[in-house]
Structure 1
Amino acid sequence: MEGIRNIYCVGRNYKLHAEELGNAVPTAPMLFGKPTHALAVADGREIVLPGDRGELHYETELVIHIARPYSPEASLEEMVDHIAVGIDFTLRDVQSELKKKGYPWLLAKGFPNSAVVTSFRPFPGLQACQETDFSLQKNGEQVQRGNIRDVIFDLMTIIRFTGEHFGLGQGDLIFTGTPDGVGATKNGDHFGLFFGKEKWGEFTAKLS
C-alpha cells in the first residue's frame, strides 16, 4: 500500500474493551505505534501471522487516513480524507509479560502483518460514521461490532493529541481503538471486515 507513513494506534479507547482486559480506563489518549512492515491488505489473500508466541488476538478498529500535515486550526474533514476497517493483531501473552516488566509493547504489537486494513474509502463525514457500525466476522460469525460514537476520545481529540505530541502528516494512519469482543485467532480462520452491511475486505489467517 503506497504512500503510508506512520501507523499510530489508540489503546483502550472503548470503556468495555478496557474493562474486559482488566485495564484502567485512560484519562488521556494512550498511543503506540507500529512499523510500516506491519501493514497488510485484506484483499482475500492468506496473511501470515505468528503462531508460536502464545495467543494471537484480533482487535477490529475504524482506521483513518490523514490527508494533510497537522494544523491546530484544521477541521476533521480537512484532516481525514479516507477511512478503512482494520485489525490491530496483538500477541496477548507477550503483551502481558511486557506489561509486568513495564516494557514497551512493540514486540506484542509491531510484528509483520499485525496491522491489517481493508481498501480505503472516501471519508463520509463524522455523522455518517456515527450512524454506521463497523464489525468483524470470523468464519462467518460476527465476533466484534463497534461504533466510534462510543469512543472515550473522539476523532478530533485523537488527531490533536497525535499531532501535538508526535507529529502528523499526509499518509499517516490512526487505528482509533477496538470495542469489546476481542478473541483468539487460530490457523485457517477466515475474517471478513464490514462497514455497515458492506464487506470492505477479507482474508485467511495462516499461523506459522
Structure 2
Amino acid sequence: MATINLDDQTYLIGNIFCVARNYVAHAKEMGSRILAEPVVFLKPTSAVLQEGQVIHLPSWSNDVHHEAELVVLVGAGGKNIQVADALQHVAGYALGLDLTARDVQAEAKKAGMPWTLAKGFDGAAVLSRFVSAAAVPQPEAISFDFYIDDERRQHAETRDMAFDVATLIAWISTRFTLHPGDLIYTGTPEGVGPIRAGERLRLVLGDLIDSRFDVV
C-alpha cells in the first residue's frame, strides 16, 4: 500500500475522494454545470503514482487527459465535521493529476455505466510531494500551474472553486467517515487535454512544490 511521509509521520493512503466539476470554466468546457452539492467519485489506492515514478499510459486508451488539482491529505479523521473546524483536519497539501481515459469515459457515459475504469487505472492518481498544512494557511487563496514540456496548459486560482477546501471536507464527512491518510482531489480548472508518451509534465505551486513526471 502507498504511504505518505510528512512532518515525521507516515500516513497509509486510504480513501481517495475526487471532486468533479468544481471550477465553473471547467464545467463549461465539459458541457456540464455546477450542481448545488459537490459531485464525488472514488479512485482505488492502486491508482496512486508518486513523485519519482514514471507515468505509463494504458494500452487500451488512445486519449488520456490531464486534470491538475490541489490534493488534501487528511490528518485527523472525523464524521460531520463543521466547516469552521475543517482545516484543522488537514495534515498537508500536494498537487495531483486526476488522469482520465477520456475515450473510455465517453463510452461509459453513453452506456450509462460507471467511470471506474476511465478514472481508476494504475497510475491515474498522480501526486507531487506533500507540504505541511502550515505552509498553506489559506488554501482558498492560492494558485497553481500545470505544464507540458514547459508550456503552461492549466492555471488555477482556488478562489474560483465552487466548493472550497473546508466546505469539501465538511460535506464529504457528512456522507463518509474520514480517516487519517484519506486524500481529497479538489477538482480541476479549465484547460484539460491529452498527454502523450515522451512528454514531461510539471506541477507547480509557488515555491512550495515543483514536481516533474515523464510519460512513457
The interval holding the TM-score normalised by the smaller chain is over 0.9
Supply the AA of the counterpart residue of 2:169. Answer: I
2:25 aligns with 16
The alpha-carbon distance between structure 1 residues 161 and 130, as it changes in their structure 2 partners (threshold 3 A), is closer
Aligned match of 1:61 in 57, 69, 80? 69
Contact 2:141–2:158 (CA<8 Å) still a contact in 1? no
Matches within 5 A, 1:73-152: 73=82, 75-123=85-133, 124-127=135-138, 129-152=139-162
Deviations 1:100-129 (A, max 9, x none): 1221110110000000000110013442x3
CA RMSD of aligned residues (A): 1.5
Deviations 1:117-158 (A, max 9, x none): 00110013442x344311111001110010221101111221
Give 3-state SS (helix, strand or coil) of 1:96's partner.
Answer: helix
Deviations 1:52-72 (A, max 9, x none): 313100000000000111242
> Any gaps of 5 or more consecutive residues in structure 2?
4-11
Give 3-state SS (helix, strand or coil) of 1:78's partner.
Answer: helix
Deviation at 1:161, TM superposition (A): 1.8
Count residues with an aligned counterpart: 204
Scaled by the length of structure 1, what TM-score is found? 0.92
- In the alignment, the residues of structure 2 paired with residue 166 and residue 38 of structure 1 have an alpha-carbon distance, to the nearest angstrom, of 20
Deviation at 1:163, TM superposition (A): 1.2
Deviation at 1:78, TM superposition (A): 1.4
Supply the AA of the counterpart residue of 1:29. Answer: P
- In the alignment, the residues of structure 2 paired with residue 198 and residue 161 of structure 1 have an alpha-carbon distance, to the nearest angstrom, of 28
- In the alignment, the residues of structure 2 paired with residue 69 and residue 120 of structure 1 have an alpha-carbon distance, to the nearest angstrom, of 18
- In the alignment, the residues of structure 1 paired with residue 44 and residue 26 of structure 2 have an alpha-carbon distance, to the nearest angstrom, of 24
1:193 aligns with 203
Give 3-state SS (helix, strand or coil) of 1:75's partner.
Answer: helix
- In the alignment, the residues of structure 2 paired with residue 17 and residue 172 of structure 1 have an alpha-carbon distance, to the nearest angstrom, of 25
Contact 1:49–1:114 (CA<8 Å) still a contact in 2? no
Question: 2:153 matched to 1:177?
Answer: no
Question: 2:57 matched to 1:38?
Answer: no
**Percentage identity across aligned positions?**
38
Contact 2:131–2:208 (CA<8 Å) still a contact in 1? no
- In the alignment, the residues of structure 2 paired with residue 93 and residue 102 of structure 1 have an alpha-carbon distance, to the nearest angstrom, of 14
Contact 2:13–2:181 (CA<8 Å) still a contact in 1? yes
- In the alignment, the residues of structure 2 paired with residue 164 and residue 177 of structure 1 have an alpha-carbon distance, to the nearest angstrom, of 19
